[in-house]
Amino acid sequence: MIEKNIVSQDGTTFCMTVPDLHHLIKDLGYEPHQRDNWYRLVN
């Protein structure tokens, strides 16, 4: 959270879409899964 606050105060923002995140995970050789707060699979 500290890094996010510093970047936000500087006026810089960084956003990554879910498809972009899935693509990066797949590029690393893993299969992306979404989980809830109790680590149960959502999809």
pLDDT in tens, 1-43: 445 566 667 666 677 888 999 999 999 999 999 999 999 999 7
27 torsion bin: left (phi>0), alpha (psi -120 to 50), beta (else): alpha
Residue 25: CB partners within 8 Å, gap ≥ 6?
Answer: 31, 32
Asked whether residue 27 is assigned to any structural domain, the reply reads yes
pLDDT number for residue 1: 43
State the DSSP code for 11: T
Asked whether residue 7 is assigned to any structural domain, the reply reads no
pLDDT number for residue 31: 95
Asked whether residue 9 is assigned to any structural domain, the reply reads no
Asked whether residue 20 is assigned to any structural domain, the reply reads yes
Asked whether residue 4 is assigned to any structural domain, the reply reads no
Strand partners, 41: 35
Asked whether 21 and 32 are in contact (CB, 8 A), the reply is yes
Asked whether residue 24 is assigned to any structural domain, the reply reads yes
Evaluate if pTM is beyond 0.85: no
- What number of CA atoms fall less than 13 Å from residue 17's CA on the CB side? 3
Based on the structure, what is the number of domains in the chain? Answer: 1
Tell me the residue range of the domain where 22 lies.
15-43
